[in-house]
Chain A
Amino acid sequence: MTALVEMRNIVKVYPNGVVANDGTHFSVMRADIHALVGENGAGKSTLMKILYGMELPSSGEILLDGKKVRFHSAHDAIAAGIGMVHQNFMLVPSFSVAENIVLGQEPLRRGLVDQKRAEEISNELANQYGLKVDPKACVANLSVGMRQRVEILKTLYRGAQVLILDEPTAVLTPQETQDLFRAARTLIEQGKTIIFISHKLNEVKEIASYITVMRAGKTLGTFESASTTHKELARMMVGRDVLLETNRSSSERSAKVLEVKNLVCTSDSGKPILRNLSFNIYSGEILGIAGVEGNGQTELAEVLSGLRPAASGNALLHGKKILNQTPRRVREMGVAHIPEDRLKNGLALNVSVEENFIVDRYFHSPYRRGLGVQYKQVRALGKRLIDAYGIHTSSGAQMVSSLSGGNMQKVILAREFSAEPRLLIAAQPTRGVDVGSTEFIHARLIEQRSKGAAILLISADLSEVIKLADRILVLYEGENVGIFSDPARLTEETLGLYMLGIQKQTPEEMEAVL
Chain B
Amino acid sequence: MKWITGSPAVRETLRILLAVLAALLLGFIITCLVSKDPLNAYRAFLFGPLSRLNRIGDWLEESISLILLGLAVSIAFKAKQFSLGAEGQMAFGAMASGVVALFVPLPLFLRIPLALLAAALIGFLWGALPGYLKAYMNANEIVSTLMLNAIALRLYDYLLIFHIKPPGAGYNQSDSFPEEGILPSFMPPLPFWEETRRMLTNQMNLTVMLYIGVAAFLIAYYVMARTPFGYELRMVGENIKFAKYGGINTKRTIVLVFAVSGIFAGLAGAHLSLGVHQKLIANITVGLGFEGIVVAIMARNNPLFVPLAAFAYGYLRAGADIMERTSDVPREMILIVQAVIILLVTAEYVLPFIKQRIVKPEDSYLAEGDRHAA
Contact = CB atoms under 8 A, between A and B. Distances in A.
Interface of A: 15-16, 305, 307, 326-328, 330-332, 337, 339, 344-352, 355, 358-360, 362-363, 368, 371-373, 375, 394-395, 397-399, 402
A373 B359 contact: no
B245 A350 contact: no
B222 interface: yes
A15 B352 CA distance: 15
Interface of B: 222, 226-228, 230-231, 234-235, 238-239, 241-249, 357-359, 361-365, 368, 371-372
A359 B235 contact: yes
Given A355-B231, A359-B235, A346 B242 contact: yes
A307 B238 contact: no
| Dominant secondary structure of chain A at its interface with chain B | loop
B358 A15 contact: yes
24 contacts: A16-B358, A326-B247, A328-B249, A346-B245, A347-B239, A348-B238, A348-B239, A348-B243, A350-B238, A350-B372, A355-B231, A359-B235, A359-B247, A359-B248, A360-B246, A360-B247, A362-B228, A368-B228, A371-B227, A372-B226, A373-B226, A373-B230, A399-B368, A402-B359
B231 A373 contact: yes
Given A344-B239, A349-B238, A349-B239, 18 more contacts: A16-B357, A16-B358, A327-B247, A328-B248, A345-B241, A348-B235, A348-B243, A350-B371, A350-B372, A355-B231, A358-B231, A368-B228, A372-B228, A373-B226, A373-B227, A398-B359, A398-B361, A399-B368
B247 A345 contact: no
Nearest to A396: B361
Contact of A397 (B234, B248, B363): B363
Contacts of B228: 362-363, 368, 372-373
Given A348-B235, A350-B238, A350-B371, A399 B359 contact: yes
Contacts of A345: 241-242, 245
9 nearest interchain CB pairs?
A: A359-B246, A328-B247, A395-B361, A348-B238, A348-B239, A327-B247, A345-B245, A372-B226, A348-B242
A257 to B, nearest CB: 20
A347 B241 CA distance: 9
A327 B231 contact: no
A358 B368 CA distance: 19
Contacts of B248: 328, 359
Counting chain B CB atoms within 10 Å of each CB, the highest count among A344, A368, A373 belongs to A373
Contacts of B357: 15-16
A339 B358 contact: no
A364 to B, nearest CB: 10
Contacts of A339: 245
A350 B371 CA distance: 9
A55 B242 CA distance: 31
A344 B244 CA distance: 11
Nearest to A17: B358
A455 B285 CA distance: 59
A274 B247 CA distance: 24
A63 B243 CA distance: 48
A327 B222 contact: no
A307 B244 CA distance: 8
B365 A351 contact: yes
